[in-house]
């Protein structure tokens, strides 16, 4: 196993690639991982020993703090390959800033910028062949940090591990999604960690989402924890509502994630002269719009799914179907985003970031 050193990062080379073992036409999201991963440890008050090594298992004590107190954060990013074989990231600076915002809220030391971007560049270059060209194909990138101190005292860890793993991906959802509006469960609350990509935020969603699936729905639209009166997020995504020709989404807060795709959709709306409002929207407003025919679209926006249209929602045991639109904003924004991401269109916003 050969070892090379970049400016900051040590690279341990693989003996043989796993690439020929992967059926890229039949991928399950997040199940197949690339040849390499990045690992860096926080000890003695500093991040140290940044290393790229062959993807493999970790050995951790059962008393490792992340298992007991959930001190963990993560990000979701993607790399795309154009028809000329060039590879690009999409707005990685936003992901870097957000993982450190999340880390700060979870009492995890912030990660150095030079390590983060050098790791991304080197990893994607090493695993470039895992990035497949073509519509809907991408390389999903998962940076994450977790507490690794051994001990079960209820206090922040003194040691952490920052890692990046990557998985080839196709479309996350293959069709429209049916959703239930939450009337009892909440994703987050005022003063909590809803704005952070903390691991526990997502684990807490699984049970109410399972209940929705038992009724034939795929996801939940979350409402505020206090009154269950205001619409906030959809599943693991930000959510948009089109009433008339106005696009509406909830403002970010300490309950709502500042999504990269969300910000991109708002910018595309502005660029295209589409009226958009960032404001609180009540469930009653949505139901009334569905009844009087002015509700034209609901769609989720996030890294994994990009844009995910909603075909129906349920509230108080009543299902409201949403008719398909010839001038669908969801389809329009998804195409415009993917054209920028895969270098099929100009990038007037400077979102595309070449890496390999």
Residue 102 in any domain: the answer is yes
* CATH number (domain holding residue 182): 3.20.10.10
Residue 27 has pLDDT above 70, yes or no: yes
Residue 3 has pLDDT above 70, yes or no: no
3 state SS of 334: helix
pLDDT at 101: 98
My answer on whether 162 and 196 are in the same domain is no
Residue 87 in any domain: the answer is yes
* CATH number (domain holding residue 154): 3.30.470.10
User: What does the DSSP 8-state code read for residue 64?
Assistant: B
My answer on whether 260 and 294 are in the same domain is yes
Domain count, the chain: 2
My answer on whether 325 and 187 are in the same domain is yes
For 164-222, the pLDDT digits (tens) are 999 999 876 667 799 999 999 999 999 999 999 999 999 999 999 999 999 999 999 99
- As a whole number of angstroms, the distance between CA 309 and CA 305 comes to 10
Residue ranges making up the domain that contains 327: 177-336
Residue 351 in any domain: the answer is no
pLDDT at 100: 98
Residue 101 in any domain: the answer is yes
For 110-130, the pLDDT digits (tens) are 999 999 999 999 999 999 999
My answer on whether 240 and 285 are in the same domain is yes
pLDDT at 305: 83
Angle, helices 329-341/260-271, rounded to nearest 10 degrees: 110
My answer on whether 102 and 156 are in the same domain is yes
My answer on whether 191 and 300 are in the same domain is yes
Residue 1 has pLDDT above 60, yes or no: no
My answer on whether 25 and 84 are in the same domain is yes
My answer on whether 275 and 311 are in the same domain is yes
Identify the helix (H) or strand (E) that includes residue 221: strand 219-223
- As a whole number of angstroms, the distance between CA 33 and CA 41 comes to 21
pLDDT at 295: 98
Residue 316: left (phi > 0), alpha (psi -120 to 50), or beta? left
Residue 105 in any domain: the answer is yes
pLDDT over 70 for what percent of the chain? 97
pLDDT over 90 for what percent of the chain? 93
Burial of 131 (0-12, 13-18, 19+ CB in 10 A): buried
CA atoms within 13 Å, Cβ hemisphere of 207 = 8
My answer on whether 213 and 265 are in the same domain is yes
- As a whole number of angstroms, the distance between CA 226 and CA 152 comes to 33
My answer on whether 13 and 148 are in the same domain is yes
Residue 264 in any domain: the answer is yes
pLDDT at 286: 98
pLDDT at 270: 98
Residue 232 in any domain: the answer is yes
My answer on whether 107 and 190 are in the same domain is no
pLDDT at 239: 97
- pTM score > 0.85 for this model? yes
Within the chain, what is the greatest distance between any pair of CA atoms?
A: 67
pLDDT at 356: 74
Question: What is the gyration radius of the CA atoms in the chain, in angstroms?
Answer: 21
Task: Using pLDDT thresholds of 50, 70 and 90, give the confidence band for residue 147.
Answer: very high
My answer on whether 185 and 331 are in the same domain is yes
Domain edge (last residue) among 169, 193, 220: 169
Q: What is the mean pLDDT of residues 268-292?
A: 98
pLDDT at 191: 93
Average pLDDT, the chain: 95
């Amino acid at each position: 196993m050969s070892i090379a050193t970049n400016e900051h990062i040590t690279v341990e080379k693989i003996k043989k690639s796993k690439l020929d073992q992967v059926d890229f036409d039949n991928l399950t999201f997040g199940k197949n991982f690339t040849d390499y991963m990045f690992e860096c440890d926080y000890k003695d008050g500093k991040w140290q020993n940044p290393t790229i090594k062959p993807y493999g298992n970790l050995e951790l004590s059962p008393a490792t703090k992340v298992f007991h107190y959930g001190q963990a954060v993560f990000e979701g990013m993607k790399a795309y390959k154009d028809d000329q074989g060039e590879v690009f990231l999409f707005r990685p600076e936003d992901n870097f800033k957000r993982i450190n915002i999340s880390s700060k809220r979870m009492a995890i030391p912030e990660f150095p910028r030079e390590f983060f971007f050098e790791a991304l560049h080197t990893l994607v270059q090493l695993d470039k062949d895992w990035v497949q060209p073509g519509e809907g194909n991408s390389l999903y990138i998962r940076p994450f940090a977790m507490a690794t101190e051994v001990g079960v005292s209820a206090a922040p860890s003194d040691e952490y591990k920052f890692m990046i793993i990557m998985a080839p991906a196709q479309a996350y959802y293959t069709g429209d999604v049916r959703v239930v509006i939450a009337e009892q469960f909440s994703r987050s609350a005022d003063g909590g960690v809803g704005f952070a990509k903390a691991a526990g935020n997502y684990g807490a969603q699984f049970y109410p989402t399972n209940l929705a699936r038992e009724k034939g729905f795929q996801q939940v639209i979350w409402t505020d924890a206090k009154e269950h009166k205001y619409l906030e997020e959809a599943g693991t995504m930000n959510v948009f509502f089109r009433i008339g020709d106005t696009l509406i989404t909830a403002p970010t807060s300490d309950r709502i994630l500042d999504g990269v795709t969300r910000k991109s959709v708002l910018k595309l709306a502005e660029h295209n002269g589409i009226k958009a409002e960032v404001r609180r929207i009540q469930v009653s407003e949505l139901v009334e719009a569905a009844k009087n025919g002015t509700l034209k679209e609901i769609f989720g926006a996030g890294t994994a799914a990009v844009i995910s249209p909603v075909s129906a929602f349920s509230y108080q045991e009543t299902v409201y179907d949403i008719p398909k639109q010839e001038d669908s904003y969801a389809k329009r924004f998804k195409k415009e985003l993917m054209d920028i991401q895969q270098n099929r269109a100009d990038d007037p916003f400077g979102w595309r970031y070449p890496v390999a």
